[in-house]
Structure 1
Amino acid sequence: MPEETRTGRLEHIIFQNEANSYVVASFYDESDRHSFTGAGRLADPEEEQVYELTGEEVHHPRFGRQFRILTGRRKLPDESEAIIRFLAGKAFPGIGTATARIVVDTLGEDCLEMIRRDASILQRVPGLSKARQEILVQGLRDYAGDSETYIKLLEWGVAPRQIALLQDHYQDVLKVLDENPFRPLYEVNGFGYQSALKLADALNLREDDLRRLDGLLFRNARELSMKTGSTWLSMARMWD
């Protein structure tokens, strides 16, 4: 099934594993007035909170149809007065109504998503100190439920689907990747060579690092095996 984005109010939590933030919950979609079950990672899930969920419909062999959550974050307000009240709230200490209004007047009603995507846009706001910029950025990350790991992987060019695979497989993703960015290529089903290359480049792995060579040989060997239907491969063919 193709990926899609849904907006849903969390009605109640069915199952929660606080150790890895995995949640199964019932959501209410106000657009079609139907409830659906979502399963995936949500940081600090809260009942009655509205979430924007990206994922896909799947059929669980035991529990039936579910929406597999690849990314989930609290929905941000998108109207001027609501945004000002939000930014002047307790999640952003030291901002206040006057500063919040300047942010909205300068950047517009899309300002929250703009800040989430690129924090440097706050430099356009007149009189906004570096300290207040940091308060806004951190407050948005905390509210939306974006973990440090998730933000870092997005910056490195990893797609949300691959991020979900990594977080499902490893307890400390960044530590694993720092040791060897090609490790998911060998261990995580569905994580490809090009994604591993992005990680290696983001981590400034030298071009002559043997971990790059190992990854390339593994990719070539796997592709040849699938193409020929045989696990016997000559070294010459590995470099064709």
Structure 2
Amino acid sequence: MEQQSFLAENSGKNSTKGEAQLEGVVEQIIFHNEANAFTIIELLSDQDEIIVTGKMPPLNVGETLQVKGEWTDHPKYGLQFAASSVIKQAPRTEAAIFAFLSSGAIKGIGEKTAEKLIKAFGQETLEVMREKPDRVSRLSGIGRKRAKSFQEALQKERSYQELSLLLLPYGIGPARIRTIYKELGDSAEAVIRQNPYYLAQRVRGIGFETAERLAEAFGMTGDHPVRLRGALLYTLQQSLFQDGHSFVENKQLLQNLTKRLQVEEVKLGQALDKLVEEELVLRFDPADSEILRQQKESNSNMDVNANPEKAVVAMRSVFMLEQDLAKTVRFLSDRPEAKCEIDPRYGDTLYC
């Protein structure tokens, strides 16, 4: 279903009793705050022009909305409709489709092109543009390249809407949803459904608890492999960025997470073994210089059977970065001492 729901805070001072519902077409966007999504629009509903306020997704003139909320009497601006939820719907009539396409919502489509498309495909215009661009390309003056760009623009809009519908109920606001969409692109919803913990690893401000709520909704509870894997990687990442530790003791990692996740330690250990086998993480004895030398020279994984009492665990990418940094420092320390002098014309600037 092609729709997008946004929760909104009432902005009126005095409200009438009971929730009401409106449906109409966006006539004008008076104000939109990208930071918190607060928006003021003029909605044409049953031939009446109504001012609607509240949190809304990015809108275009001509889009069809279903709005729930309450009528309010603002002391300065008069009668308004304070939205508690806003649902974007696909335009259903030819007039609504024309208003949407001719508004500039889709780059490269103006009034003439919108008329041409609607004349050819009627109420199925948007569906044909999204699913059958080859039919659109046969129209005079459009061609394959423009038809493809129309398709991509509509698919992008749908992807953003589906992502919003997925995340809004979990307290993830519009601004953060835009950040997630920029980070993960059109496949964001599919990526999150497959592994919600990836959000916590990739997007700043999304914590483990949010990922847990999403995972529970997707049936990834208890000792589900995706949950155990995500928890391990997230913990290693947080240990690095919050505490500055590039590795964690194997035993401590398993004990702490077993308690936090309320799962069997053997299951968590098996998930960690899998990550080691896939070379996403490394497990080694930090006191064994020979193992470190072999890893650095062969660029291969370390012994999966390292003594769990002495072993530590690190993200492979971080370990390799540390090794490269150490190599660079050693290289620089072996170079002859540079002879540098201060140029008096430029203060403390050194020339070597």
> TM-score scaled to structure 2, two decimals?
0.36
